Structures are given as structure tokens and as C-alpha cells.
Amino acid sequence: MNWSATAYVLSFRAFGERDAVISVLTEEHGRFAGLVRGGQSQKHSAHWQPGHLVNATWRARLSEHLGSFNGEAIKNNSANLMHSPLGLATLLSACALVDLTTPERMPLTGLFQSISDLLPLDEGADDLARYVRFENEVLCALGYGLDFSRCALTGTRDDLAYVSPKTGRAVNRAAAQPWAEKLLILPDFMHKTLIPSWDDIAAGLALTGYFIERHVFHHLPSYALNQLAAKRERVLDLVNKQRMVAPQPLLSVS
């Protein structure tokens, strides 16, 4: 059995002294793992880093086998972000989220396109806005997507400002007032075409992070949980640094 497809590399793990086990995401075949012989060599490892877009060919005698990969890089996305700490951290977090939470060998066309839409990444708040939306896309693929289409209490589409932590549905600002302290903040960029502030990004990450922790973390083995939490925490730390240095609005003097 074999297939060839364009794929995003999700993870690279040393196997023995020379080889490596690679996980990739393809549009048609979903998430697949395979062995790259000699994958730890400088020649091969440079092509199979998380975030890179590759032409991959997977081969195995039987479909249930691990199989082996060969291929070549199309675009070295992570290598191109070596001088952009936040962009690189965001890409690695996105790859880990897909790699560690999604079912193997199930077509995930929407997520493949979502990674494509996430790129290119840099240090801007608009780049991080795409990442927050990406986390919601992963939640959707797992069956836990958040609903910002209308207020869960009134049905209105206007002035949506909160999200219920129980249902994941949006709530209108006025309707939410009796319970506002118990609800999660819904930043405008999550449901409107707006360039957010860094405070908005932090609120968006808190929102998606709450539901990732609630629905995803407890299903993961400890090693996967630690990896994913560490990569996401790196993004949060860098976002908070951006919040500290971002220009503050001027106060009017009467």
C-alpha cells in the first residue's frame, strides 16, 4: 500500500540512533505516521521539521503497518521563522495541537486548509488572531466547536460579548449582565473582521484554552498533555510580553 500527497509535518521524533518517526497531516489521508530511514541525519532532518510543507510518499506492505516516508520539502515554514520567536512558537503549537489531539488516518480536510490559512506567520496581532481561530477549528474538528452565530438567550446577532462556559455559545452583552462574572469574554475579532489588540488576543487564547482544557486535555496521556501544554504556554508567555510593550491609549486631559 502506498500514497503520495502534499503534507504538513506535525512532529519529528528520534527512533534509534539514525532513524526518525514523522507525523504529517494530509488533506486526503488525514494524520499519518511513518519511519524516515536516516531521518536524524542533517540531510533528512532539515526536510522533516514540524511546520514544513513537504511532498511525502508513504509506503507499507500492509495498511496497519507503521510504514515509511520519503519525500522532499516544498516550503521550510518553521526554518523561515527562526528570527520570529512568537511566529515559530505559534506554528509549533498549532502542529502539536493537531498531532496530539486528532484521530490518526481520518481525513481532516478542514484542518489541512486551516493550517494553510494560518500561514504565513509573524509577530503581529493579526497573525495570532488567525491562530486563535485555528484553535477553534481544531475544537470543531473534534466535535467541541464554539458557536458565535447568535445569542444563546435571545437569538440576536448584535453585541455578542460573552461565551457560556457550559455550552460554548455566545451571549449578548445586555442579556449576560446577571451572570457576566461567570461567563468567558468573547473578543470581537472572533466573530468580526477586525484587527485585534494584544489584550484581545490574550482573551481569545483564554477562551479557546478553557475549552481545550475542558474537552481535550483529560483525554491525553501525560506525555502528550505535557508537550501540548508547554508549547501553548510558550505562546501565552510571548503574547503577554507583547502586551507589556504595546503602546497604551492616550488619556484625555480635561
Residue 20 has pLDDT above 50, yes or no: yes
pLDDT value for 247? 67
Provide the CATH topology of domain 2-76: OB fold (Dihydrolipoamide Acetyltransferase, E2P) (2.40.50)
Domain boundaries, the chain: 2-76, 85-148+186-244
The per-residue pLDDT for range 123-137, each reduced to its tens digit, is 899 999 999 999 999
Q: How far apart (Å, rounded) are the C-alpha atoms in residues 231 and 10? A: 13
Q: Are strands 2-15 and 68-75 parallel, antiparallel or unpaired?
A: unpaired
User: Could you give the C-alpha distances from 27 to 4, 95, 114, in angstroms and in order?
Assistant: 11, 15, 11
CA 173 to each of CA 139, 178, 188: distance values in angstroms, whole numbers, following the listed order? 24, 10, 12
Q: pLDDT band at residue 253, thresholds of 50, 70 and 90?
A: very low
**Torsion on CA atoms 21, 26, 29, 31, rounded to nearest 10:** 40
| Residue 195 C-alpha from the chain's centroid | 19
Q: Which of 196, 217, 202, 92 is nearest to 144 (CA)?
A: 217
Single pTM value for the model: 0.92
pLDDT of residue 252: 44
Distance, CA of 87 to chain centre = 12
3-state class of 229 per DSSP?
helix
pLDDT average, residue stretch 189-210:
94
